[in-house]
Amino acid sequence: MFETTIAGSLPKPSWLAEPNKLWAPWRQEGVDLAAAKLDATLLVIKEQEDAGIDVVTDGEQSRQHFVHGFLERVEGIDFEHKVEMGIRNDRYKAMVPTVVGPLRLKGRVHETEARAARAHTRHKLKITLPGPMTIVDTVADRFYGDKVAMAHAFAEVLNEEARALAADGVDVVQFDEPAFNVYTEEVVEWGIKTLHRAAEGLTCTTAVHICYGYGIQANLDWKATLGGEWRQYEAIFPALAASRIDQISLECRNSRVPPDLMGLLKGKTLMVGVIDVASNEIETAEDVAKTIETAMRFVPADRILPCTNCGMAPMPREVAVAKLQALGAGARLARERFS
């Protein structure tokens, strides 16, 4: 009961990448960079295990960004001539690559880090991939001319890598879809269909992480415009409840998501966000246990996975480690209190 996990990313050590930044520049090159990525992967696995995290991830240590880290291994994408584009409905600007031809994998994407992680932990292992809708929202298009067609093409290549990850021994493949709470009508119309294609044929556990974004200023400013209740999920949770995806995430700690919306996900396992990634304040074990207790009003205890609200990549590393420890301690307290 209350098996813990994290949304995916963790801060990179300062010897691997510039700290406290999204899209942080690497500090190594060539073979030194490849070795440093694996060293960092094993380090964050150990930190998660020490903190009492049950389903660990590679911390996305081998990726500069959760979307572009995947796209670097996809043919048909031009990284040499990036363009500035508004993403997440123009919430903020980013320099993005352009789709210029048919999409194909150049080879495996996350094989090296997935196999290294699998070889060095007996815990359940989760690897994250960007979801089709979020990829479409994070690239420019000069080839398909239709975002739905392009999303289906990305779903095909994602499925190829997802199946290979399952064969590597990964227990959970999670698709990250922060775009889901921005384009709610499109989620129902075609977003879940492309998500299903990306997950097609997987025999491991499948998950989708949807969120209000990293704790960066653009997201904080956007959240301030959403009023006293964040009800975006209300439009998509019924469709997700009817989907074939096993696990679904939502923010709870310090969020304005009405907790009763969890009741719309009947039958699903919920990754309940008990750790706020938009604040450097360290939660206590009691804070975590109370958030779990709130979730229990709407979700059976055996379907609750205490989790982080979102990825922690831009956070100070010492803060993220302390928050992992609070997550583990709070889940242990909840087990003692509610079992």
State the residue for tokens 């100070």. 316
Q: Quick: pLDDT tens for 6-58.
A: 999 999 999 999 998 888 899 999 999 999 999 999 999 999 999 999 999 99
- Position 215 confidence tier, pLDDT thresholds 50, 70, 90: low
3-state secondary structure of 322: helix
Which residues does 141 contact at the CB level (< 8 Å), separation at least 6?
98, 99, 147, 150
Residue 107 has pLDDT above 70, yes or no: yes
Which tokens in the block code for residue 28?
A: 């190594």
Percentages (nearest 5) of helix, strand, coil residues in the chain: 40, 20, 40
Of residues 111 and 225, the one with the higher pLDDT is 111
Please name the residues in contact with 204: beta carbons below 8 A apart, sequence gap of 6 or more. 165, 166, 170, 171, 172, 173
Comparing 90 with 146, which gets the higher pLDDT? 146
The 8-class DSSP code of residue 204 comes to S
Q: Give the range among 19-28, 101-110, 320-329 with minimum mean pLDDT.
A: 19-28
Beta-strand relationship, 140-141 and 269-275: unpaired
Which has the closest alpha carbon to 240: 215, 272, 262, 213?
262
β-bridge partners, 174: 128, 207
Write the CA distances from 57 to 44, 195, 239, integer angstroms.
Answer: 8, 21, 27
Residue 305 has pLDDT above 70, yes or no: yes
Mean pLDDT, rounded, for 133-159? 96
If you compute the radius of gyration of the chain from its CA atoms, what whole number of angstroms results?
19
State pTM to two decimals.
0.95
In the prediction, which pLDDT does 337 show?
A: 94
Query: Using N-to-C axis directions, what is the helix angle for 30-51 and 317-338, rounded to 10°?
Result: 30
Q: What value does the mean pLDDT take over residues 60-77?
A: 94
pLDDT exceeds cutoff 70 at 283: yes
> Within 13 Å and on the Cβ side, how many CA atoms surround 280?
8
Residue 164 has pLDDT above 80, yes or no: yes
Mean pLDDT of 270-296: 97
Q: What pLDDT was estimated at residue 214?
A: 64
Q: What is the mean pLDDT of the chain?
A: 94
Does residue 8 contact residue 60 with C-beta atoms inside 8 Å? yes
pLDDT in tens, 217-243: 776 777 777 778 888 889 999 999 999
| Whether residue 74 has pLDDT greater than 80 | yes
